[in-house]
Chains A and B, each alone.
Chain A
Amino acid sequence: MASSVYLCLLRAVFLVCFVNPLIQGLSGDANVVQNPHHELEENLTGLPIVTFKWHHVQTPYLVIIWVFVAGLAKLSVIELNHHVTSVIPESGLLIILGFILGGIVWGAGKAQTFKLLPPTFFYYLLPQIILDASYFMPNKLFFSNLGAILIYAIFGTCWNAATVGLSLWGCYEAGAMGNLDIGLLQFLLFGSLIAAVDPVAVIAVFEEVHVNEVLFILVFGESLLNDGVTVVLYNVFDAFVALGGPKIDAAEIFKGIFSFVVVAFGGSFLGVVFAILLSLLTRCTKHIQIIEAGFVFVVGYLAYLTAEMLSLSAILSITFCGICCQKYVNANMDEKSVTTVRHAMKVLANGSETMIFVFLGVTAIDTEIWVWNTGFILLTLLFVFIYRIIGVFLLTWMLNKFRLVPIEVIDQVVMSYGGLRGAVAYGLAAMLDEDKIPEKNLMISTTLIVVYFTVILQGLTMKPLVQWLKVKRAAHSDLKLIEKLNNRAFDHILAAVEDICGRIGDNWWTRGWNRFEENYISWLLMKPKARRNRDYLFSIFHKLNLEDAVNYVSEGERQGSLGFIRSDEAANVDFKKQFDSEFTDVMPDIMVDMSNYELEIENVSVTSIVKDTIPSVSLDIHGHDRKNAVDDINAHHLLQQHLYRSRKNHRHKYSRSHFSINQSEDEVQEIFQRTMRSRLESFKSAKMGVNPAKKITKHHKKELTHKMANGHPDGTGHLYGDEVDSAVGSETGAIRGTFMRDMYTVGAGIENPVFLPDMDSPTHSSLPWLMETEAVAPSQRAQRRLPWTPNRLRRLAPMRISTCSTDSFLMADLEEHEEQPQTDHEEM
């Protein structure tokens, strides 16, 4: 506690000492900016070794200093929050810190030069927050609730604006505010700028509360989309105020309504156009992937500025740009670019948010703007609060008649309480024209107070309120794969029932849109490679593979269970050096080389093994390690073998087009052994003798060989006998156990017995899901003993189910065994 307080004080002192001379420099040197040359000439008596060139760097320096200060502020806020038991939301603390900073600057006697100016806010600080919000928007949730969101955004905002404005006007007429130079139109203007729920504040407060996703998307979506209404209302009333009362007739009002349509839909349409542009751009950047990430930000910002230029709704434009482009951009871009964009966006958005809140605090400490009118301010607070509640409940009551899953009362309470106003309102207020609106300062003051009230107080009490009301919270973990699959199955069921009923429901639209999108839009906007990799389950599989791999590494390092990882630094290096290259080689191949699979089966199978082994390795070992510390060495060997195998297989892929010289001794030996073994096998199988290569399995399955009635080649018999046995056992633990036993009884080390049965399989097993057969895919264990031809797979299905005699299977083995020697030779 003491240390963090100490740190904060240290920072404050630092800021004071640092900021003060800067400000002095700023105010002092303002005049000297124009003629630096003259200055230098005048004072030049000797060669100056070092000069203080403040005016050269003045503007960017100040900007950077304030960004730096904002960052420090966030840091101290986070530190403080640990001790304040995270009761106050960060945004609130940042505003308070802004107060302190403003106080420091004011105390230094300087004028408040660092206000939050509207242009700065609207052009440099706001766009990245909105882009970040829309880029990470859960599209499915958003669009399925779009009706409700639009109702709240449009009608809710209009209701708020109208009621607040009119009530204030009514109270003014009733004399509650004393003497002010305001008319009805100005009240309406004020109402329109204070009515809008602010996306920045909503994100800042709600992200710490974790309410259920429907509630969140309703509030958040509303805060994003109401900008369309706010902009229109603001501009309309601003124009009306400028025109003056008498000139407003029906035509003007009609124009106002029409402008809403144009602004809102124009803005959204513009956003979609830029999203298409962005998707097309990322589609073409295959060879210059380093600038892909930049395009996202540039085009997003362009969307914002273009809409602003055309006086359309800029926030709507950038929102729809982000929403529409996310799918295609993520599919088209290289994985590294995707990560870059995500992180960069988060950094920018967080930074902007911090700066906005700090500046909101700093601008408070300015003696010029404060005008206090008790009636106005208190009444505004009251009306804003009450009309929000009334509006939400009214609209929800209407919506619930049409919704499939109604919005509960408790959610409505949270929604109305969550109507936070923020920096957008302040920005709009600061943009008011003083000549037309003499009471501008009063409005600014009121806006600031409303903002502070909602962000600090309502933000403060939001979390306890949510807990007290027992609002449904967000699910803590992602759905498991089986749950996701079930969800999909039920989508299909719903669609079927709707077809039977003959009515066109939600699902019809969703399916129709999905089909249209898959066929036409994706064709246009997605890279062909990305389109082929679009398989939903495959992407989940890939993601889970990566997770497993990462978990395995961190688990191993943490537990210290793996023999080759002893300490963080040294062992880390070893592991990475030895295996990381293989992982990174292997992993990207999963995505990159999938496109080849339609062309050559051989290439396919390699990557399929690669894909298959990684999860089987991770899953096996992961669980295994946890259970039994003794088997850690086993795990080590297993891992080494499997990774080793995958790297070798990976190299295999290139062996057709490039001839690469084997660097590793082990590999050379292994390949040699393989070759010899397979040659040997082909000889021996002709003689129907015992195959030394298969010793490993034979040892284990001696009993079964005796049972075999016929004298056909034992090699195959062993192979499948083994398998049947484990299939009968039908427990992965047992399977792994037998497998391990196999390896260690023969004392195999690096010379990998596991490989023996498989040597031909990489080139022969094809992806089950690519084949046209109806076979059930083999289990993990089966993959290690993959059959030699694609046809083999079919037999695994009956084998797993039936537990009785294996004769029939061995018979089946017989005819197909003859193919094997030929295929061996082909492969060599």
Chain B
Amino acid sequence: MGSRASSLLREEDIEEIKKQTGFSHSQITRLYSRFHSLDKGENGALSREDFQRIPELAINPLGDRIINAFFPEGEDQVNFRGFMRTLAHFRPVEDNEKNKDPTSGEPLNSRTNKLFFAFQLYDLDRDDKISRDELLQVLEKVDVEQKMSIRFLH
């Protein structure tokens, strides 16, 4: 777990990711080793199959949506940067975070960005709109009571 993974991650990379996402040093190294263990093909990037290999995701009704969220538009591989960027949305919100770099804009885990990410989870075709079908699909997959929930929305 430890040495081999971290040797592939340079210090300046860690610094940059830290600045961009706000994770701490130890968190980044731990997540990198996780990334590495998921990456069976050893090519420094994760594909959809790598994610699908996680057993719990298979039974999660919204599993494939989350997986899709990691991959930017049109691409099939996600590198470590992209992995961290997506995960950064889930960091707890910190109110007291002093804005070290005024030009960097809002941190990735701010409330607005979280909401934006959540919106993207619903918006499958990425047209910046959630159509009724997309909404239906999300709600459909949540447990077997799918048909019940659709009926109610009309």
Contact = CB atoms under 8 A, between A and B. Distances in A.
B92 interface: yes
A485 B142 contact: yes
Contacts of B37: 502
13 contacts: A404-B92, A485-B149, A488-B142, A489-B139, A493-B121, A497-B66, A499-B60, A500-B38, A500-B57, A502-B38, A535-B148, A768-B151, A777-B150
A405 interface: yes
A307 B118 CA distance: 49
Q: How large is the interface on A (under 10, 10 to 19, 20 to 34, 35 or more residues)?
A: 20 to 34
A776 B136 CA distance: 10
Nearest to A481: B152
Give the residue among B60, B118, B121, B145 with the most A Cβ atoms within 10 A.
B145
Contacts of A575: none
A124 interface: no
A496 B62 contact: yes
A501 B56 CA distance: 12
A492 B31 contact: no
Contacts of A769: 144-148
Report the 10 A-B pairs with minimum CB-CB distance, sorted nearest first. A769-B147, A537-B145, A496-B66, A499-B56, A768-B147, A502-B34, A492-B62, A537-B148, A777-B151, A779-B154
Contact of A776 (B31, B66, B150): B150
A405 B66 contact: no
Interface in A459-480: none
B5 interface: no
Contact of B66 (A482, A493, A538): A493
Contact of A541 (B31, B61, B65, B148): B148
Interface in B27-83: 31, 34, 37-38, 51, 54, 56-57, 60-63, 65-66
Given A492-B61, A499-B56, 5 more contacts: A489-B62, A489-B139, A493-B121, A502-B38, A537-B145
B14 interface: no
Nearest to B33: A502
A769 B153 CA distance: 15
A538 B57 contact: no
B154 A496 contact: no
Interface of B: 31, 34, 37-38, 51, 54, 56-57, 60-63, 65-66, 87, 90, 92, 118, 121, 136, 138-139, 142-154
Contacts of B121: 493
Contacts of A767: 147
Contact of A497 (B87, B139, B142, B143): B87
Contact of A496 (B31, B38, B63): B63
Interface string A501-520: 11000000000000000000
A495 B60 contact: yes
Nearest to A406: B95
B130 to A, nearest CB: 12
A780 interface: yes
Given A482-B153, A485-B139, A493-B66, A499 B54 contact: yes
A404 B92 CA distance: 6
Give the residue among A502, A768, A780 with the most B Cβ atoms within 10 A.
A502
A481 to B, nearest CB: 6
A501 B30 CA distance: 9
A18 interface: no
Contacts of A490: 118
Contact of B87 (A404, A482, A501): A501
A536 B31 CA distance: 36
Contacts of A537: 143, 145, 148-149, 152
Contacts of B145: 535-538, 769
Nearest to B133: A801
Nearest to A508: B56
Contacts of A488: 142-143
A536 B143 CA distance: 10
Contact of A500 (B51, B143, B144, B151): B51
B62 A493 contact: yes
Nearest to A781: B154
